[in-house]
Amino acid sequence: MTPQVTFTKPAKVLIVDDVHPILFQILRPSDFSIDYVPEASLEECLLKLRGTEILVVRSKIKLDQEILSLCPELKVIARVGAGLDNIDEQAARNKGVVLVNAPEGNADAVAEHTMGMLLSLMNRMVWADAEVRKGNWPRKHARGTELKGKNLGIIGYGHMGKAFANRLKGFGVYLYVYDKYKTGFGDEFVKEVDLATLQSHCQIISLHIPLTNETMGMINSTFIEDNSYPFYLINTSRGQVVDPEAVKSGIESGKILGMALDVLPDENLAVLRPTEQQWFEWLISQEKVVLTPHVAGWTVESYQKLSEVIGQKIVELALFQ
């Protein structure tokens, strides 16, 4: 349960990223004084931090200990998104700052996007589309693989993982789900298992985990080799949970049958280091890879729902003197 935070009206809110207008409707002007600067540079945003009590962000600012030291009055950081990986959580909590995010707001978007990527991957749709546009008609090589009867593993059973599982109910798959921090969620459709069991049974693995020190590089060469079957890998969580060289080796050896990636280890493609650029060039040359630009949770509907969820959470935690 999120603790309540005491403010004097109006609480000073700084919003540094683009948000849906519904957020302003929820944060009543009589209770909250809003400074909305989505077009401001990082330097301009930093100048506005002093005096801010509630900071609303998406991804523009990486809130490390140094930047947090510029915010002596800060009481709440609200991220209009699912993760908190651009926030030094320990440094924020050491300052007594309450952290809130909105994984409920884009769970449906992520689930549908993951479903689309999985079907595209297993049916070679992206590759087949490109071939037809070249004037080719490669029916033999465009043959797909059916989901029905497959064992599909979900790692992480929060809002995203659960929403994805719900989308799979009509496909005749057998679901194996591992979550290190949750128990008791198994039912007639979801088999709750440990990681080793998931790896020994599944031909498809989908990642729905946050980026933490624990999950950084989780999909490494050991993880890949520990799977009993060659498998398809889907990642709509965070790029850094995947070791780039390990999945490259996995694709080349055939242990990974294909990958659908909405996220990459470094998504600023204009300034990749030479080794990163080399890996990216290899990645985009692969017929067995489907790529999207970190948009799984970014639909027309989730744009509104994310702001709505964050607005409601801010109102619920605010206690005025």
Average model confidence (pLDDT) across the chain: 96
Average pLDDT for 143-151: 97
Single-letter amino acid, residue 95: K
Same domain as 95, residue 9: yes
Same domain as 87, residue 49: yes
Reported as a single tens digit per residue, the pLDDT across 17-45 is 999 999 999 999 899 999 999 999 999 99
Q: Does residue 321 surpass a pLDDT of 80? A: yes
pLDDT score of 3: 84
Same domain as 96, residue 139: no
Same domain as 139, residue 21: no
The secondary structure of residue 248, as a DSSP letter, is H
Residues annotated catalytic, as ranges: 238, 267, 294
Residues 6+ apart with CB under 8 A from 78: 54, 55, 56, 57, 100, 101, 310, 313, 314
Residue 73 resides in a domain? yes
Residue 296 resides in a domain? no
278 three-state secondary structure:
helix
Same domain as 279, residue 135: yes
pTM of the model: 0.94
Reported as a single tens digit per residue, the pLDDT across 247-304 is 999 999 999 999 999 999 999 999 999 999 999 999 999 999 999 999 999 999 999 9
pLDDT score of 1: 66
Same domain as 236, residue 118: yes
Give the pLDDT band of residue 153 (cuts 50, 70, 90): very high
Write out the residue range of the structural domain in which residue 131 sits: 107-291
Same domain as 24, residue 94: yes
Instruction: Tell me how far CA of residue 18 lies from CA of 79, 112, 213, 303, 309, in angstroms.
Output: 12, 23, 28, 10, 15
Same domain as 283, residue 155: yes
Place of tokens 């609200």: 78
Same domain as 215, residue 143: yes
CB 8 within 8 A of CB 29: no
Average pLDDT for 159-171: 97
Same domain as 50, residue 128: no
Count of structural domains within the chain: 2
CATH number at residue 311: 3.40.50.720
